[in-house]
Amino acid sequence: MDVVGHLGRLWDGLLVTLQLTILSFAGALIFGVVLAVMRISPILPVRVLAGTYVELVRNIPLLVLLVIFVFGVPEIGIMYSLFLTVVTAMALYGAAFVSETVRTGVAAVTVNEAEAARALGMTTVQTIWHIILPRALRAMIQPLGSVFISIALGSSLAAAVGVSELTGQTDMINLEYADSGSTLVISSALYVGITLSGGLFFGWLERRLAVHR
């Protein structure tokens, strides 16, 4: 098989994988921070709701969640594009792990900092938003990088529900030409490139925003 002749299809798949990864991680980061705030809320029902969500989603395989969203949600009348459906499912899944990462980072914020904020007259919401979360997020850059890498690798499951990302394009090429070796090597190398680039970026970001005590 002439692999060079199919590099364009692999490139298209790579672009879809990058879009899935970046958009899903952005959604997971936003919703995950909200969940983390809910889990440290002084309001018990809010804590219970967020905790239940996190524990439930973390124990559901991503592929199962994708199947539920792609094939189950339309049955109740909620329909939008396949790409956005997959992004939504991956973001909601990743948010559970981001929440745990941020909640762990909150524990790194000293009690003195929170007490100082209260002494200045800050409300609980102001203390969380202006003092606790910025410190927690800066302290958890590398763990968040691990979540990013997990989402990037998990995006390969989108091929199972019909999204032509990198794995999907690789599978289609292999089915057409019955030669899996070359394209799998290239596809694997591209995934390694994504994860290594993500790790390097978050490592740089951690050094840039490091909290010095």
Which CATH homologous superfamily contains domain 3-208?
Answer: MetI-like (1.10.3720.10)
Residues of the chain short of pLDDT 50, as ranges, are none
Q: How far apart (Å, rounded) are the C-alpha atoms in residues 161 and 146? A: 24
Helix runs in 43-81, H state only: 44-58, 62-67
pLDDT at residue 77 in the model: 83
Does residue 120 contact residue 107 with C-beta atoms inside 8 Å? no
DSSP character at residue 4: G
Whole-prediction pTM: 0.86
Tell me the one-letter amino acid at 171: D
The structure tokens 């590099």 sit at: 7
pLDDT at residue 57 in the model: 95
The structure tokens 């800066």 sit at: 138
pLDDT at residue 9 in the model: 87
Q: How far apart (Å, rounded) are the C-alpha atoms in residues 56 and 78? A: 22
CA 32 remoteness from chain centre: 9
Q: How far apart (Å, rounded) are the C-alpha atoms in residues 33 and 27? A: 10
Q: How far apart (Å, rounded) are the C-alpha atoms in residues 25 and 155? A: 11
98 vs 12, 70, 187, 197, CA distance in Å? Answer: 29, 23, 27, 20
pLDDT at residue 41 in the model: 80
